[in-house]
Structure 1
Amino acid sequence: MTILRSINTLLITTTLLFSTTAIARQSAPDPAPQGLLYGVGVGINQEIYQGYKRRVIPLALIGYRGEKLSVYGPFASYQLMRAGDLSFSAKLAPRFAGFDDSDSDIFIGMAKRKTSLDAGLGLQYQLADWTVEAETLIDVLGNSNGYESKIKLSNALRFGPVQLSPSLGASYLSDKLVDYYYGVRPEEATLNRAAYQAGSTINYHTGLALSTPILFGGMTRLGIEHHWYGSSIADSPLTDRDTGFSVILSWSRFF
């Protein structure tokens, strides 16, 4: 019931926002450029594991944007169908998560939890400058054998050559996914780390993305998100907080 109540609340909020802005927002954004692109980026996640302050992820970006296929570094999507403002896509995305026993003392004696690759399907609905995105991605490498379902609402605000996009969203993580990254197996338990079997949970986030084409002849993007983690994650003996930030900065340019 908690999951359904959270999703219903988010969908009701989306409906109200659309109904109050549909008349005011009449113009559609210009079509995005297409072709091969290259660039660099870095992602920084504030981890909630004990003794593991942050995860830094350098990115070398080689990609392509076409009418249906979009590849941006390790992320890819392919539009399977479009009907007016609604599109349906296949998606592929890495899961930058996990740890080994050298990352923090809390992990000593535990088996490595691996980064993984997720694949699945996504829906996008766009009304003028408002966008609703929903997707479900499944671990295809068999590390956690879990899945994550997300829904996000965002709005594009333009100030000359700068676009700001505030967003809010929620994600449901399956029990297998949460238990793989936040559970403690019986054979891993110690006096300071109790055995823990994690269940499914819901995380929430708000974010702000900035993009502009005015620097170095390419597109610069900065995204900041604040995350609230569900109780199944926050109660893990591996974690010591229930909120965290993530930041991603990238620059890319078409060939």
Structure 2
Amino acid sequence: MKIEVVLVAAFICVAVTGGGFAGEADESTVEPSKPERFIGGGAVISSKPYEGVDSKVYPVPMFGYEGERLYIRGIGGGYRIFRKGGWSLGPVVRPRFDGYRASDSRALAGMKDRDLTVYGGVALGWLTGRGLIGANWVTDLLGRHSGQELEVSYTARFPLAGFDLIPSVGLSYKSNRLVDYYYGVRASEARDWRPAYKGGAATNPFVRLVARRKLVGQWELLGTVQCEWFDREIMNSPIVDKAQSISFVGGVLYSF
């Protein structure tokens, strides 16, 4: 339960992030505007790819800070060491909440728990007149699996019917150690109905849409949907029964 709640906070930060840098794309200059702070509450529906583990709904807090260089998005954040001419570069830290407990479903009985971890790395962004092109590389800081992840994405922003729509598309490359840890089945965990499986590196495409709408004063509505499609290296795992992961977030924010 606690893991899923923290996952929601991190996912909501992605939505707040979209509003932060996408807003900058509308400026005639790439110099940042004044810092933005968000606080609020809402709910999330998040799916898990593991067999027998259903989607769940949780009430959650929403919070974030977007400054000229420092940004804090819930329980993750970063710092832009370099920022000039639309380019930015700096370190990032964020959690990863994949994983499960063997007690989560009968299909996972006999498996060892797979734990959350913390990633650290570097993020590169290029803000153009048509949107933001981003890339970030992170590695496991806690030694859970010692794997890495590389994500590249394109994000734009446009108004429609009173909403700010912020769509993103991208690819997420996950190293073989990461995939094997979260989706593999060790020899000691194999059963007659669950063969051993060693996962290899995977590349997952994803899409994300953030929608924001002003209400009154500093209040606004926020909604986010994200879908990530799994590479065969993940889908072929005997403990995975879904081809994609889908998450929904909705809530109300107060900015100050």
Q: Match of 2:205, as an amino acid?
A: Y
Query: Paired residue for 1:19?
Result: none
Aligned equivalent of 1:112: 113
Q: CA deviation at 1:54?
A: 1.9
Deviation at 1:176, TM superposition (A): 0.7
Amino acid at match of 1:91: V
Distance change in 2, residues 1:94/1:213 (3 Å) = farther
Q: Distance in 2 between matches of 1:113 and 1:133?
A: 29
CA distance in structure 1 between the aligned counterparts of 2:86 and 2:31, rounded to whole angstroms: 15
Identity of aligned residues (%): 29
Match of 2:145 in 1: 144
Question: Deviations along 1:7-56, whole A, 9 cap, x unmatched?
Answer: xxxxxxxxxxxxxxxxxx99569955425543234443222211112255
* Residue type at the aligned position of 2:123: G
- The aligned residue for residue 241 of structure 1 is 242
Taking a change above 3 Å as real, the CA distance of residues 204 and 36 of structure 1, as seen in their structure-2 partners, is closer
Query: 1:68-217 counterparts in 2 under 5 A?
Result: 68-159=69-160, 161-214=162-215, 217=218
Structure 1 unaligned residues grouped into runs of 5+ = 1-24
1:189 counterpart letter in structure 2: A
Q: Are the structure 2 counterparts of residues 123 and 30 from structure 1 closer, same or farther at C-alpha, using a change threshold of 3 Å?
A: closer
The alignment yields a C-alpha RMSD, in angstroms, of: 2.4
Deviation at 1:253, TM superposition (A): 2.4
- Please give the alpha-carbon distance, in whole angstroms, between the structure 2 residues aligned to 1:36 and 1:155: 21
Deviation track 1:171-228 (CA, whole Å, cap 9, x = no partner) reads: 1000110011000011111111111111111000122111223267334322212221
Query: Which whole-Å CA distance do the structure 2 matches of 1:249 and 1:129 have between them?
Result: 27
**Map of 2:14 onto structure 1:** none
Q: 1:34 and 1:252 mapped to 2: Cα distance?
A: 16
Alpha carbons of structure 1 residues 48 and 74: separation in structure 2 relative to 1, 3 Å: same
State the Cα deviation string for residues 135-175 of structure 1 (Å, max 9, x = none). Answer: 01111111121111000112111237521022211010001
* AA of the residue aligned to 1:45: S
Helix, strand or coil at the partner of 2:178: helix
Find runs of 4+ consecutive structure 1 residues off by over 6 angstroms.
Answer: none
Distance (Å, rounded) in 2 between the aligned partners of 1:168 and 1:186: 37
Mapped partners of 2:102, 2:159: distance in 1: 45
Flag the 1:36–1:206 CA change in 2: closer, same or farther, 3 A.
Answer: closer
Letter in 2 for 1:116: T
* Cα pair 2:30 2:86 within 8 Å, conserved: no
Conserved in 2, the CA contact under 8 Å of 1:161 and 1:214? no
2: distance between equivalents of 1:250 and 1:72? 16
Matched letter for residue 171 of structure 2: A
| Structure 1 CA distance for aligned equivalents of residues 117 and 173 of structure 2 | 18
Aligned length: 231
Change (3 A) 1:26 1:78: closer
Counterparts in 2 of 1:219 and 1:71: CA distance versus 1, 3 Å: farther
Q: Contact conserved, 2:102 with 2:113, CA < 8 A, in 1?
A: yes
Q: Distance in 2 between matches of 1:56 and 1:33?
A: 34
TM-score for both structures, normalised by structure 2: 0.81
CA 1:185 to 1:92, structure 2 compared with 1: closer, same or farther past 3 Å? same
Give the secondary structure class of the aligned counterpart of 1:241.
coil
Q: Structure 1: how far apart are the matches of 2:87 and 2:45?
A: 32
Q: What letter is aligned with 2:187? A: P
Indicate conservation of the 8 Å contact 1:28/1:128, yes or no: no
Which secondary structure does the structure 2 equivalent of 1:102 belong to? helix
Give the secondary structure class of the aligned counterpart of 2:166: strand
